[in-house]
Amino acid sequence: MFAEQTPVAFPPSPQEFLKLTPTQVREQFLVERLFVPDALKMQFTNCDRLAVGGAVPVSAPLPLKNSKETGCDFFLARRELGTLNIGGAGWVEVDGNRYEVGVRECLYVGKDSRDVLFGSNDPAKPARFALFSAPAHKTFPTALVTEADIKPVHLGASGTSNDRIIRKCIFADGVQSCNLVMGYTSLAEGSVWNSFPTHTHTRRSEIYLYFDLPGDRLVAHFAGQPDATRHIFVRDEEAVLSPPWSVHFGCGTGNYRFIWAMAGENLTYDDMDPAPPTSLR
């Protein structure tokens, strides 16, 4: 799929989106096979130049290697990085400073960091680092976000099958960044709808990375303008790109978690335009 074939993903315009076949929708929006043992994968996009990736260090630590897509001498010369560990306990070393990153803990790595290394504490239970990167114009300090640092935000209800907890990791009132806003959402047992009622935000692009979908569970992720939506079936540890003009919500066959990462004109988490259920088609 395109995560391995194309250096940069270019999601279509709303008009082009309407003409795509189901296979083309998946090829344009879905990012697969990000988590490969002993590999660090990275997919660049033209959605506010966000990049999404995965690193699974097993037999040896994995360096954040540069890509020609940065146009710079090293990866974070003009970028920042957020990583959330969805596997076993691990660590990240940034320019010689080591940070222990436990399960569902987040590390922000600022612009100008030259040497970034990802490792696992136990190769039998390797860390699985979800990676998100955005352009940056200013250097902010590298910062670790543990679960104890996060104030949970409860949304939805069991009666509407969208009872969920949002945990903000990198945002305007927390860990500082230039463009990257990042966190994750956990659905309660019995709830399956995420980000519903839904919205768009024309000033920012977003990426969802779904995880904790055991066995044959999946999520039907919806994309498109509110009055012209299409669905994409998403499996465990797969990501979906969401251009600024698109809705981004989903319904699963059971509860699950997903990471959300945004970049664009501002860091205001609730800068969004509601798309009420009556507007959806």
What pLDDT digit, counting tens, does each position of 127-158 carry? Answer: 999 999 999 999 999 999 998 999 999 999 99
Sorting pLDDT into bands at 50, 70 and 90, what band is 182? very high
Give the chain's mean pLDDT: 95
The tokens for 182 are 């990042």
Check residue 105 and give its pLDDT. Answer: 98
Lowest mean pLDDT among 185-199, 237-251, 261-275: 261-275
Residue 8 has pLDDT above 90, yes or no: no
Q: Looking at the predicted structure, is the pLDDT value of residue 198 above 80?
A: yes
Looking up residue 103, the CATH number of its domain turns out to be: 2.60.120.10
- Separation CA 277–CA 280 (nearest Å): 5
pLDDT at 1: 31
Predicted confidence at residue 5, as pLDDT, reads 38
The residues, ordered by sequence, that sit 6+ positions from 171 with a Cβ below 8 Å of its Cβ are 181, 182, 183, 267, 269
How many structural domains does the chain have? 1
Please tell me the distance from the alpha carbon of residue 180 to that of residue 84, in angstroms, as a whole number. 13
Range of the domain at 7: 2-279
pLDDT for res 7: 62
* CA–CA gap between residue 274 and residue 195 (Å, rounded): 11
With tokens 């509860």, the residue in question is 255
**Contacts with 6 (C-beta within 8 Å, 6 or more apart), sequence order:** none
Asked if 46 and 11 count as a contact pair (C-beta separation under 8 A), the reply is yes
Q: How far apart are CA 120 and CA 137, in angstroms?
A: 31
Predicted confidence at residue 147, as pLDDT, reads: 87
Tokens of 233: 């079936």
Quick: pLDDT tens for 10-64: 889 999 999 999 999 999 999 999 999 999 999 999 999 999 999 999 999 999 9
Return the pLDDT at 242.
Answer: 97
Q: Per-residue pLDDT for 122 more than 80?
A: yes
Percent share of the chain, pLDDT over 90: 94
Residues 220-237, mean pLDDT to the nearest whole number: 97
Does the reported pTM lie above 0.85? yes
Q: Stretch 188-214: mean pLDDT, rounded?
A: 97
Residue 263, pLDDT > 80, answer yes
Q: Band of the pLDDT at 257, cuts 50, 70, 90?
A: very high
